Structure 1
Amino acid sequence: MTRESSMGERSLPEGPWRAGWALAWHTEPAEQGGVHRTPVAERLYQLQYQSDASQVAPLVVALADFLDTRVVRPWLAAIVPVPPSNEDRPLQPVRELARALAERTGLPLAERYLVKRRRTRMLKEINSLAEREQEVAGVFTVTDPERYRDQWVLLFDDICQSGTTLAAATRVLREEGGVAGVYVLVVT
């Protein structure tokens, strides 16, 4: 999430999900002008691009504490991580964070429940919303359509820039997986 967006503090814009939240903004205004990463975004950056696994624990503590403030928390059936765009990373931030969040919260981890049918480009490299939507169109599927039918799940990702990936994943969870409610949590 960037401050330049129209998103309210910690709330994602409207989407096909029931509710969505971000732990923190991704950037904030810098004193000298321009923007810089927030402390949470800096931790995420270190995890993503420096493969600094020591960032997982503090991020997960903050994510779990935040999730505990959500009314829906006791009714969530599982954490569903968004599959990565870059499978070549030595450390997969979303998977690592989702595993640790599941362990800390006691929620089941639905790893490899939501999968990609094909590789995609990283959406941060695509500026056009229409191109982003085209890139993720038809890319997701669920491996076991009955697994979370009529239940509520938490869709988890690292960053929300436009919501395109989250919207596509949410639609598949609802339409193919029969999930009754999708709630979204992202780091930034």
Structure 2
Amino acid sequence: MKYSLLITLLFLAASCKGISQEKEANTTEVTAQAAEKDFPIQKTEAEWKKQLTDAEFYVLRKAATENPFTSPLLENKEAGVYVCAGCETPVFKSEHKFDSGTGWPSFDREIEGNVAYDVDYKIGYKRTEEHCANCGGHLGHVFEDGPSETTGLRHCINGVALKFVPNK
């Protein structure tokens, strides 16, 4: 009888649903929602869906991540500027692009003032999320494992969140 009671108590303790992660996730969602209201370009979800492809919408507006090695911009070596696919704000220059081997276009710096930052915990640890400072579109994340001879940063960006404008 003692063992049955002990096993039942252990089972109940193990099956209890914790809420500490939910609080963190809710805080992140609220922070992201509040941050969206601060961007100069404001559109409804329906307006964004009409303007963007499905892939662009899910990455830019729902903070999804495209599959690695799928972006045609990954191998692009032309001189030019990468702009936000949502509002065409210039966010990265081609001279700051490098091959990180991760499968996503990577840059060692942004165009200052055109990228906004927030913190997310979506995968269980702190990451710095990057947004277009003009429309709030999710671009990717920045990490501190970039080229040490430049900034030491790696802006790991979803190619579908970008459009490339070649130099004339």
Shorter-chain TM range is under 0.3
Greater per-residue strand proportion: 2
- TM-score normalised per structure 2: 0.27
Larger radius of gyration, structure 1 or 2?
2
